[in-house]
């Protein structure tokens, strides 16, 4: 299931909505660096792949904007490490 990732700039987070529930990644933009502070999925989304889909969207956004990612969140760091096609985005 593919959903659109939206940038909720007012709350400084990327969001993915699925079945009325949200997975989000809190971020901070620092020049050409996108710092991912925290990734979380609503309880009904846990184990569904929603957080991974969200991270893929975040990585694609970073790539399209020419940004590097600094993952402070353990989940974000582990996701990028598992997906070698996005390791070039690590800052």
- What does the pLDDT look like over 59-78, one tens digit per residue? 999 999 999 999 999 999 99
d(CA 1, CA 55): 14
> By C-alpha distance, which of 72, 91, 90, 73 is closest to 81?
90
- 3 pLDDT band (50/70/90 cuts)? low
- Coil vs helix vs strand at 64: helix
CB proximity list for 15: less than 8 A, separation 6 or greater: 5, 6, 8, 22, 23, 24, 54
13-66 pLDDT, tens digit each: 999 999 999 999 999 999 999 999 999 999 999 999 999 999 999 999 999 999
Domains, the chain, ordered by start: 5-89 (3.40.630.30)
Confidence of residue 1 (pLDDT cuts 50, 70, 90): very low
Element (H, E) at 81: helix 74-82
Whole-structure pTM value: 0.93
For residue 10 the two structure tokens come to 């007012």
């Amino acid at each position: 299931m593919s959903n659109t990732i939206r940038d909720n700039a007012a709350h400084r987070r990327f969001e993915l909505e699925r079945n009325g529930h949200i997975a989000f990644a809190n971020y901070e933009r620092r020049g050409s660096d996108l710092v991912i502070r925290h990734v979380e999925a609503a309880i009904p989304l846990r184990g569904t792949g929603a957080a991974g889909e969200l991270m893929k969207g975040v990585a694609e956004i970073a790539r399209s904007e020419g940004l590097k990612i600094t993952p402070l969140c353990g989940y974000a760091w582990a996701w990028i490490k598992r997906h070698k096609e996005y390791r070039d985005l690590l800052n």
